[in-house]
Structure 1
Amino acid sequence: MADVQDIDGKPCEENLPCSSQKQETCDEMLSRHRKEISQLQNKEIELKKAAARGSKAEQKAKKKQLEEEISRLSTNLKEKHAKELASLGYSDSNGNDKSNIDNLVKAIAGVSVAPLQDHPKPSKGARRREKRAQQEAAREQRIQEEQSTIVSDRMIEDEKLERKFEPLGLVINEIKPDGHCLYRAVEDQLALLSGGSSPYTYQELREMAAAYMRKHASDFLPFFLSENTIDGDSDNSLAERFENYCKEVESTAAWGGQLELGALTHCLRKHIMIFSGSFPDVEMGKEYKSDGGFSSSTGTIRLSYHRHAFGLGEHYNSVAPNLIK
């Protein structure tokens, strides 16, 4: 397998990006962690392409070797990040490993991981964010436990998408998996449609989606209720819970989904097509559909939905014309 020394958990003296680790601020460390995760994801893509060459027997052997290598690299990187976070005090008094992993997931998700003694009694909003972070941590742990299966599922999913895109002359533009992927993918599509830069940043798209959902709350509440069961904050009114959800959409790195896509299709007045290798394709905003294609400002926004992307769970990418003939 290819050498990946820059993300393989080597000591700091052999790993240039963390040579000044002691001088790093918390934000700098988390930024580097995100970059190292992205590097590992890019390496996985390269290894997968390399494993697809040769006879079926060779591909099968390479596939098994790839799964083991990616699992090893992912585990090493998680341990390295957990230790670095622990050096800033993000661990419990017993050095509990699960606490380190939980804190790692919270930190990458943009949730505060400052020691509890530095904060007063958490508010309901903080408890809600904490619960979401715990759910993300639990999901991350399950992903790690089933890493080999997920890598295999991802290959199957990607192969189905490739077979779907080839006759359409389309390819995937990889989008950074940082919680903003849906909005970054839409931003990338708007840039393609305009032939230049997007008229809106991913953050502006978040704010637009939240504003639209607030203004048309009655259209979104039934779907919101189906996806958000009442928990320990049941004393909150429905309107308050929906408003808190909208605040998370516009001001955090919370993953976007069907609700936000529904809002964006009306905000932008765009036809949106979501391709998937695991589920049936989804079409939204048919009333805005045109035959303009990618050369028209009224063209379709094309996204790909990945259920098994990067070992991180759900993910969106941008879909573009294949310019390589």
Structure 2
Amino acid sequence: MDGSGEDEPAEATVQLLARRQRREKRELQAKIQSMKNAVPKNDKKRRKQLADDVAKLEAELEQKHKEELEQLKENLPEKNKMDSVADGVASLELDGSEQQIQQPRISKAQKRREKKAALEKEREERIAEAEIENLTGARHLESQKLSHILAARQLAIKQIPSDGHCMYRAIENQLKDCQNSWTVATLRNQTAKYMQNHVDDFLPFLTNPNTGDMYSQEEFAKYCDDIANTAAWGGQLELRALSHILQMPIEVVQMDSPPIIVGEEYSGKPIILVYMRHAYGLGEHYNSVKLLTDTATENGS
């Protein structure tokens, strides 16, 4: 075995990163050209500011790309083979330029077929690039930090689907360990009912995002109806209501802040949720937790 097969995943990842970085450079150049076109050539003051702005944008992109390459080296399993990442990116960029120079004549039908194939290839590359972002971006770093925090407590993240019900699903998952049969629908209905019956405890904390005014009674009623009947995302107010309903403390573990405990007045083992700010494209997300021993069993160790 010469190990060449092991190089393939690393090489493919490098190529995907190179393509994205090359595209970002093209997009930046187009943006810079647009900025230049918007400033009169005889306006020296604005031209000087433009030069400064352009230099800053180019430096920021160069630094971003450098950091991505370093992060990629750290996270790919073929760590000892990634010293040539930068050279691989440079050669890919050169190959791309040469391909653009030598374009044979093709028929219109062939052009249409190639355009369709190129669009499909670009779609697949963007999906693969999203996986690279998982290795180099905020999502991966947040997941790493949270895993470290939880490991100190012999816990691990239990993934919950991102469908608007994540907070309720995470609590449902925790309650199963307590031999409790509460469902997401039940949790939502009970939360809405509790908040409607304790308006004064919740209404002052809800404001109209457009006007900044406190919710009216009608808006509050609509808010509660959405809790019960839609996939409306849950937050700290709903957690407060649920802690009273279940008469249990709820602990929310975060990356850069101490855990938040809702319902401290209740005794007993808390429900533990993991709050993730960068989990998905939509942003905030809740996961559940499980024992590290369960993780080891799932992995067959």
Normalising by structure 2, what TM-score?
0.55
User: Would the aligned equivalents of 2:253 and 2:273 in 1 still touch at CA under 8 Å?
Assistant: yes
Paired with 1:171 and 1:287, the residues of 2 have a C-alpha distance of 26
Query: Counterpart of 2:64?
Result: none
Q: Is the 8 A contact 1:181 1:316 kept in 2?
A: yes
Task: Report the AA paired with residue 150 of structure 2.
Answer: F
CA shift for structure 1 position 224: 1.4
**What's the counterpart of residue 77 of structure 2?**
53
State how far apart, in whole Å, the 1-side matches of 2:81 and 2:254 are.
28
> Shift in Å at residue 176 of structure 1?
0.8
Matches within 5 A, 1:107-146: none
Q: Indicate if the aligned counterparts of 1:53 and 1:59 stay in contact, CA closer than 8 A.
A: no
Shift of 1:53: 3.2
CA contact (8 A) 1:302 1:320 kept: no
Of 235, 246, 268, the match for 2:224: 246
1:55-134 equivalent positions in 2, closer than 5 A: 55=79, 58=82, 73=124, 75=126
Question: How far apart, in 1, do the equivalents of 2:76 and 2:200 lie?
Answer: 49
Which of 257, 260, 270 aligns to 2:248? It is 270
Residue in structure 1 matched with residue 151 of structure 2 by the alignment: 166
Where does the alignment leave 5 or more consecutive residues of structure 1 unmatched? 4-47, 66-70, 78-143, 291-298
- In the alignment, is residue 311 of structure 1 matched against residue 281 of structure 2? yes
Find runs of 4+ consecutive structure 1 residues off by over 2 angstroms: 50-61, 71-77, 147-151, 228-232
* Counterpart code for 2:163: D
Task: Give yes or no for contact 1:172–1:317 (8 Å, CA) kept in 2.
Answer: yes
Instruction: Give me the TM-score of the superposition, normalised by structure 1.
Output: 0.51
- The equivalent of 1:24 in structure 2 is none
Provide the rounded CA distance (Å) in 2 between the counterparts of 1:74 and 1:208.
44
Q: What residue number does 1:222 align with?
A: 204
Q: Which structure's CA Rg is the greater one? A: 2
1:57/1:164 CA distance change after superposition, 3 Å: farther
Answer yes or no: is the 8 Å Cα contact 1:150–1:311 preserved in 2: no
Summarize deviations over 1:66-94 as a string: whole Å, max 9, x none: xxxxx9658569xxxxxxxxxxxxxxxxx
Tell me the secondary structure at the aligned position of residue 278 of structure 2.
Answer: strand
Deviation of the 1:272 alpha carbon: 0.6
Q: Percent identity?
A: 38
* Pair 309,55 (structure 1): closer, same or farther in 2 beyond 3 Å: same
Aligned partners of 1:184 and 1:265: how far apart in 2?
15
CA contact (8 A) 2:194 2:241 kept: yes
Q: For this pair of structures, how many residues does the alignment match?
A: 190
Q: 1:211 matched to which residue of 2? A: 193
Q: Secondary structure at the match of 1:286?
A: coil
| CA deviation map 1:76-127 (0-9, x unaligned) | 69xxxxxxxxxxxxxxxxxxxxxxxxxxxxxxxxxxxxxxxxxxxxxxxxxx
Structure 1 CA distance for aligned equivalents of residues 137 and 275 of structure 2: 17
Paired position in structure 2 for 1:136: none
Aligned to 2:235: 257
Following superposition, the deviation at residue 56 of structure 1 comes to 8.0
Structure 2 gaps of 5+ residues are 1-8, 13-71, 90-121
CA change 1:313–1:57 in 2 (3 A) is farther
The CA RMSD over aligned residues, in Å, is: 3.7
Contact in 1 for aligned 2:134/2:140 (Cα 8 Å): no
